[in-house]
Structure 1
Amino acid sequence: MRVKIVRVAQGKQSTLSHLYIDGIFQCYLLEDKIRADKILKQTAIPMGDYQLIVNSWGGMNTKYKNLMGKVHEGMIEIDQLPNFDYVYIHIGNTYLQTAGCPLTGFGFELINGDYQVTHSRKAYDMVYPKLLKIAKSKENQISIENNFQF
């Protein structure tokens, strides 16, 4: 399976993306603003090809295990990012909740010049088992690309 994040719009401090698995749209993603120079916990992931892994040792695992129960086997982490650590696909609605991580959503809004995603938990519940399966496989690649002009 092939996972792709395609960025489609940028707000003042936010970036809106589409998540695809095998070419099929899954949900929206929200990240921080794309920046030439990284600002810790305020910068979108660089374009490129990376790996998805299952992280079962980070602090968010306890929170998500309590939230999701047996379904949660670990956070879906985008690994091998230059100058980024512990980048998870997770639940949240605004760029203030990303800390450099993509947030899931079934809808989006543009409010005061920034994007927000909606129905984040529902989107995460739907996409998590798919991403978990991919992260546990040998075909655990994810690509990130921009599809708009800055």
Structure 2
Amino acid sequence: MKTKIIRVAEGKQSTLSQLYINDIFQCYLLEDKIRTVKIQNQTAIPAGIYSLRLNTWGGKNAEYRQKFPKIHKGMIEINGLPNFSFVYIHIGNTYRQTAGCPLCGFGFDVADGDYQIVHSKEAYEMIYPKLLAIAESNDKSISIENNFQF
């Protein structure tokens, strides 16, 4: 499957993206600001090609096992990032909740010059099974591209 994150807009401290699987829009993603020098837990993932994997040992697993008992098999991790680790696609609404990870949502708005996303839990429940299937497949690749539209 072809999995792609396309960044479409930048706020003061945030980056808004769109997630596509097989060229079909799935949901919005929110990350921290893109920076040339990484700041721990405050920097968007560098553009590039990485892989998805199922992480069953990281700290967020217990929390997500309780929040999503019917679907959780492990965190969906973007793997192979330079100078980043434990980068999960997870729920949240503002760049302050990203900790360097993409947050998923079904909509977005702007407040004080920064993007935020809404309906994160619902988006996660919809995309998790699809991302899990990709993480367990032979083609685990995910590309991240900058293509700012607004």
d(CA) in 2 for partners of 1:133 and 1:41?
A: 27
Q: How many corresponding residue pairs?
A: 150
The one-letter code sitting in structure 2 at the alignment partner of 1:99 is A
140-149 or 39-48, which moves further after superposition?
140-149
Corresponding residue number in structure 2 for 1:135: 135
d(CA) in 2 for partners of 1:134 and 1:76?
A: 10
Corresponding residue number in structure 1 for 2:11: 11
Corresponding residue number in structure 1 for 2:38: 38
Task: Quote the offset at 1:129 in angstroms.
Answer: 0.2
The one-letter code sitting in structure 1 at the alignment partner of 2:61 is N
Within 5 Å, which residues of 2 pair with 1:1-150?
Answer: 1-148=1-148
d(CA) in 2 for partners of 1:53 and 1:78?
A: 7
Task: Quote the offset at 1:70 in angstroms.
Answer: 3.4
* TM-score, normalization by structure 1: 0.98
Q: Any idea what the Cα deviations from partners look like across 1:35-55, whole Å, max 9, x if unmatched?
A: 010000000000000000000
Alignment identity in percent? 67
RMSD: 1.1
* TM-score, normalization by structure 2: 0.98
d(CA) in 2 for partners of 1:105 and 1:70?
A: 20
